[in-house]
Structure 1
Amino acid sequence: MFYWGRKGVLHIKQTIEELKSYQPERTSKPDHHDFWSQTLSEAKKKPLRAKLTDLNYPIKQITAYELTYHGFDETPIHAHYILPKEHNEKLPCLLFFHGYSMSKHSVSNYMQWLIQGYAVIAVDCRGQGKSGDFSSYTSDSLGTWVTKGILDKEEYYYRKVYTDGVRAIDFACSRPEIDPDRIGVIGGSMGGGITLAVAALDDRPKLAIADMPNMCDIPLAIEQKFEGSLTFVEKFLHQYPEHIELVYENLTYFDNLNLSESITCKTRISQGLKDLICPPMPAFGVYNLITAPKSMEIYPFTAHDMSMVEHVDKTIEFVNENL
């Protein structure tokens, strides 16, 4: 982790330059693209079975629905689907993915987007919030999502979560009120990792905004982190050291280090240099390998939090300029 000494600003600049120059090697296996092509092909063969239920939310200027749709394995995924009540043209749409062990929260959290004329789909990731998980996992000894199915890439939790995110785009594009050419994906922490993965797996998003993303340069992140979901991977390997090689190989399929080469949309990553959960170097490693138009917001004294007014305002401005 990085600490600022007496040299102050100079030290910060040197640290940022080191991060910007970090060029990791991709670790993808020969069947990486075939694995994801087959995964998405299988998912799209299944009916979406989207269902909207009026929420009767007590803000008169919006129309809010509880959305359910079938994800990877016909698990019903729950989401908010929220629209400005008054709209005469097709709407741009933002898809939100939340952090680990959290949820989509209240409809009111998204009002800054609704009042500007954006539609919002805020997803509860499978097994979290209101979404269940119909999958069975042969490796689930720790009872936490990041290790579910980790011994089999076909079973692994994040295979399903990333595909669920793509299916949310399928729903957005099925709606007559949504402009399919103005879709953005946005999230922080686990949601930031999902955002990057969905942007890599689907070319329909025009914009991807990932704050302090996880699932980036995973072996390095496991080595450098002090807190957060990847600590459970370490605990799993502590219990089952005979599976170290298999686990690291399986994780290559879900590492944004390898997925990011397929990102084509404009992408912004934000990173605090004091982050102990999603440390900066793994995120910079992914960022540095993205070839699509991109930008990075860097906060030298910020930890695992992007709720600062300055950052929120920058995000609103960035979305308005690009979507």
Structure 2
Amino acid sequence: MPLEQLRRYEGINPRPDDFDAYWERALQELDATAAEVELVPSAFQVPTADCFDLYFTGVRGARIHAKYIRPKNVPEPHAALLQFHGYSGNAGDWADKLSYASLGYSVFSMDCRGQGGGSEDRGGVKGNTLNGHIIRGLDGEPDDLLFRQIFLDTAQLARIAMDMPEVDAERIGATGWSQGGALTIACAALEPRVKRLAPVYPFLSDYRRVWEMDQAKDAYAELRNYFRLFDPQHKREQEIFTRLGYIDIQNLAPRIQGETLLGVGLMDSICPPSTQFAAYNKITAPKSLEIYPDFGHEGLPGLNDRILQFMQDL
């Protein structure tokens, strides 16, 4: 779409009629889940910060792992940053978090359950579990969708950060790229006290648009695989996309209260720009765009620096 049309695009994936009740019920489950936080000093340490492996309990009893860096010799309480990683990955190296710690920020970087890090996936869903987390739980009850649980994990991590005595609960930021961008949006929607968020080309948005553009490949390939295996004539297409609407970040975006900076490459064929704008255009809080016309799903020059400066104002 031309940029002027993208700025008006509102998405086409169905929104379930009980979407708000679905997420209120989910948050009630989270409220009833004791976090049981455990901090284990990491083998990686630096003179300017304490580094911990942080473990907590998410919904359905899974133990979730995050890396936690707490700066030394800075005023308390201080700001904190939540970081979320790309699809199938993990929290990454300790070293790439030290730029924020050097500014006096605590940093919390979560491993998504069932992906490449140290978090637990308790399983227990009906139907297909092969080649994709978007479709995991799609054949059971809506509450069993895996990304429901992962979205709730991000909110649990935000609450844990806010409860740390060294952290100022009113100075929390969140950021991530691709899946990490989607989780940034979900986190700030489900824990609206997040003050600033910087999602970059967010994943998990406007699934039907992805399908109709014939872009159900790469990160979205599981959508095509699911239809080929379980609905080859698309007799259940409306039902399936409506159920996916529960975990469509564009439907969560209106809940965001924090100031938002979104980075987008207009040549992105992994997470099509229109799907990103579907979420961005629903954010009613203060917001701004960093647009890269000639870039796709790749490094965006200068954007990490821009995000760091944006977060300095927490």
Q: TM-score range by the shorter chain?
A: over 0.9
Contact 1:139 1:147 in 2 (8 A): no
User: Which among 122, 147, 155 is matched to residue 166 of structure 1?
Assistant: 155
Query: What letter is aligned with 2:49?
Result: I
Unaligned ranges ≥5, structure 2: none
Report 1:1-323 matches (<5 A). 15-24=2-11, 27-128=14-115, 129-151=117-139, 152-224=141-213, 225=215, 227-241=217-231, 242-308=235-301, 310-321=302-313, 323=314
Name the TM-score, length of structure 2 as normaliser. 0.93
What SS is found at the alignment partner of 2:308?
Answer: helix
C-alpha distance in structure 2 between counterparts of 1:143 and 1:313, whole Å: 34
Contact 2:210 2:216 in 1 (8 A): no
C-alpha distance in structure 2 between counterparts of 1:18 and 1:25, whole Å: 14
Alignment CA distance shift 1:243-1:229 (3 Å): farther
Alignment CA distance shift 1:23-1:45 (3 Å): closer
C-alpha distance in structure 2 between counterparts of 1:291 and 1:27, whole Å: 20
Contact 2:185 2:253 in 1 (8 A): yes
What SS is found at the alignment partner of 1:185?
Answer: strand
Count of aligned pairs between the two proteins: 308
C-alpha distance in structure 1 between counterparts of 2:32 and 2:129, whole Å: 32
C-alpha distance in structure 2 between counterparts of 1:26 and 1:230, whole Å: 15
C-alpha distance in structure 1 between counterparts of 2:239 and 2:10, whole Å: 25
Query: What letter is aligned with 1:221?
Result: V
C-alpha distance in structure 1 between counterparts of 2:163 and 2:282, whole Å: 32
Deviation string 1:104-152 (CA, Å, 9 cap, x unpaired) is 0111111111111111000000012111201311122424222210123
RMSD value, Cα: 1.6
The structural deviation recorded for 1:243 is 4.1
Percent identity over the alignment is 30
Deviation string 1:226-260 (CA, Å, 9 cap, x unpaired) is 64322111111111115433321111111122111
C-alpha distance in structure 2 between counterparts of 1:176 and 1:141, whole Å: 40
Contact 2:14 2:241 in 1 (8 A): no
Unaligned ranges ≥5, structure 1: 3-14
Query: What letter is aligned with 2:227?
Result: L
Name the TM-score, length of structure 1 as normaliser. 0.91
Moved over 6 A (4+): none
